[in-house]
Chains A and B, each alone.
Chain A
Amino acid sequence: MEWHMTPTTAPSRMAAWLEQAWTVRYLNRGLSGEEVTWFESYVLDKPELLATIESDTRLRDALAAEASARHKDRSVDSDGRQGGAKSAPGIFASGASADLDSPDAQDSPLRSGRGPYKVRESAPPVWLAAAATLVVGLGVGAFVARAFDSGAPAVIASPTRIVYDTMRGPTVPPRVENSSSDSAYVLIEAAVPLGASDVTIELAGQPAQPVSVSADGFATLLVAKKSLLNKLTLHYRLAAAPSSIDLPLPPL
């Protein structure tokens, strides 16, 4: 789905979810040049947004440093000394110089929010050669096991899964996977804005329940399919202010 960002002319701050959406698009290099210009102007005096961008830049810098250090460790100069390579491919090597030759790079180091550097590795990184160790423990398995007491099967393969990517805006419909599953339960995941606290989920007619947010910023819950007719709302606090997102449940 094509997604367009429209800069606001409002003098006040954008809503938290909208700031989040802009930030994600900026970091993922999904903004046009004009949008980048506007967004960078917008964030200039907003420390929390700057911190997110800064963290991403550090990640970029660290990856470059790591690649460079790895290359130096493996390289041998003409005298057989380790780390003697004069042309480390990290930041300033062939990839970077090739990039500098492009007209784009001559005029501006910025291409849709990214810098002029370009790091290229011909050999696969060492860390890629390391075998994957364990399957990511998302905690879903344990969560499911606790949720069932009796009468339900021990394992439900491919249950219906609904993902609310609320960081892309409240109007973006949820993504539904395995909608044909005959499981009595539906796994729901909802993105929570960065920095949100006191996150609770409320199913109409039921008391709100606290939910923990995963490392990737999602709240996960298991809902009986028969309850999906009721309204589901995610509540949280952001910068001490209460906020909520309605999660429209699609018909299954």
Chain B
Amino acid sequence: MSVGHQPQPASSDADRDLVSRIASGDRGAETDFVRLFERGVRVLVRRHCRPHDPVVDDLVQDVLSGVLERLRAGAIHDPAALPGYIQSAVVYSTSAEYRRRRPTQSDAAIESMAGGESPSSRFDAAQLAGLLRALLAEMPVERDREILRRFYLEEEDKVSVCRILNIDPGHFHRVMFRARERFRMLLEQAGIQGGTT
């Protein structure tokens, strides 16, 4: 699908100011940079990683420190390019991580990684699984559950899911929206906020 032109991320005066301040050695600007982008970087890294992969924290650090280094060196001249640069760094870091693992780690080693999670990570995973069961229990229509399973676990695309389950594509996003909203509310009720899991 062609989009017609090269996308440009939205920029702001704050970005412009941040880039020049960091390049001039302003340590306070570095703190502002981390405060502004840390959550976004974490959300994207998690999105690009496998579920519960403990490497997320390390990759977030890598991305932020890597971009900061480039900013300190004055290598990023166009402030409008900063979000795009950060996004590219996220994709590069996660790609490199999974590429690095592939030739050196067997499937068994990758599987055993789950057992290497910290107790708190395992607790979080168990808590999320419990919340999910509550969510699923609130979805009385089996078809809704089937949609979630196919979309998130089997990674089937929308067209495939709609065709197999005989769903009007116009209804698809409603079901997904409902699931996400209910899940978000369950998370809030459980006191789980933000991306700190």
CB within 8 Å of B: which residues of A? 4-14, 24, 27-30, 32, 34-35, 37-38, 40-47, 50-69, 86-88, 90-94, 96-97, 100, 105-110, 113-121, 125, 127-128, 130-136, 163, 165, 167, 175, 215-218
Bound Cα distance A56, B174 (Å): 14
* Dominant secondary structure at the B interface: helix
Which residue of chain A has the shortest Cβ distance to B142 in the bound complex?
A132
The answer to whether B182 touches A40 (Cβ under 8 A) is no
Closest 10 CB pairs of A and B: A38-B7, A41-B9, A44-B40, A7-B7, A216-B178, A62-B132, A62-B128, A117-B50, A64-B51, A61-B51
With a 10 A CB-CB cut-off, give which of A30, A60, A69 has the most chain B CB atoms.
Answer: A60
Q: When the two chains form the complex, which single residue of B46, B145, B195 contacts A127, counting CB atoms closer than 8 Å?
A: B145
Q: Name B154-196 residues within 8 Å CB distance of A.
A: 154-155, 157-158, 170, 172-184, 187, 192, 194-195
Which residue of chain B has the shortest Cβ distance to A72 in the bound complex?
B114
Bound Cα distance A56, B184 (Å): 8
- 8 residue pairs A–B, Cβ–Cβ below 8 Å: A41-B9, A41-B83, A59-B148, A69-B129, A109-B94, A110-B48, A116-B49, A128-B142
| Residues on B with beta carbons closer than 8 Å to the beta carbon of A109 | 48-50, 94-95, 97-98
User: Interface size for chain B: under 10, 10 to 19, 20 to 34, or 35 or more residues?
Assistant: 35 or more
Q: When the two chains form the complex, which single residue of B47, B141, B170, B187 contacts A53, counting CB atoms closer than 8 Å?
A: B47
Bound Cα distance A29, B155 (Å): 10
The answer to whether B94 touches A50 (Cβ under 8 A) is no
The answer to whether B40 touches A59 (Cβ under 8 A) is no
Distance (whole angstroms) from the CB of B41 to the closest CB of chain A: 7
The answer to whether B174 touches A216 (Cβ under 8 A) is yes
Bound Cα distance A10, B9 (Å): 8
Cβ-based interface call for B20 (8 A): no
